[in-house]
Amino acid sequence: MSKILFVMTGVDHWTLADGTKHPTGFWAEEAVAPYEAFKAAGHEIVVATPGGVVPAVDRGSLAPEVNGGQEGADRIAAVLASMAEIENPIRLEDVRLDDYDAVFYPGGHGPMEDLAVNATSGGLLIDTLASGKPLGVVCHGPAALLAAEKSDGSNAFAGYRVAAFTNAEEMQAGLAERAKWLLQTRLEEAGVDVRVGEPWAPHVVVDRNLITGQNPASSVPLAAELLKKLG
């Protein structure tokens, strides 16, 4: 049995360019689908957030229209309600990488607000990358990579091939024009090699020990790739 760390956003909003606080948090499927896959494989999961706050789910991610209908939405909500680890997070500041075999970052717009500028998370990402342990990051989770700055100011993920929520998807989701910045653009500016797949279709990129997924539909195949690396 391996121990997998879920690093999750600690906020329930995303500040838009006009100062509006858009309600958000983590995206349900991106936590639930990997959680189910890892648990089914017999692994232990620990959730960490900045300050140890209980992570907030983006209510929009529980809607029938993004879960294939009411039945899918009910199932996601039921699994989420059963995930005791989410209700009992540890403080990100107290995490010791040596205690874990893999690290996973789910998305939602929340990471755009806090993990994108969280130096503790950035340091953990740098250390995980260097350790060779599997590191999975999905959808808006790669916003956290922006905080992985080395002492010389460069980004630790520069030159890595990465999948992340694309500008095209943000446009189609309806928030791009109101955003302070777009994830794909910022990653590319940091030197990250963003590999763009079809909007909303599963797209996973594996580069060394880094496994990234473009959108919610990429959660399941990303979890499968991470499990392969755990052996």
Residue of 112, 96, 9, 113 whose CA lies nearest to 51: 9
Q: What is the pTM of this model?
A: 0.98
According to the model, what pLDDT value does residue 30 have? 98
**Residue-wise pLDDT tens for the chain (231 aa)?**
999 999 999 999 999 999 999 999 999 999 999 999 999 999 999 999 999 999 999 999 999 999 999 999 999 999 999 999 999 999 999 999 999 999 999 999 999 999 999 999 999 999 999 999 999 999 999 999 999 999 999 999 999 999 999 999 999 999 999 999 999 999 999 999 999 999 999 999 999 999 999 999 999 999 999 999 998
pLDDT in tens, 65-118: 999 999 999 999 999 999 999 999 999 999 999 999 999 999 999 999 999 999
**10 Å Cβ neighbour count for 20?**
10
Residue of 104, 218, 103, 228 whose CA lies nearest to 163: 218
Tokens of 72: 């899918």
- Cα(101)–Cα(118) distance, integer angstroms: 22
Q: What are phi and psi of 200, to 5 degrees?
A: 70, 0
- Cα(47)–Cα(5) distance, integer angstroms: 6
According to the model, what pLDDT value does residue 231 have? 84
Residue of 170, 96, 182, 103 whose CA lies nearest to 146: 182
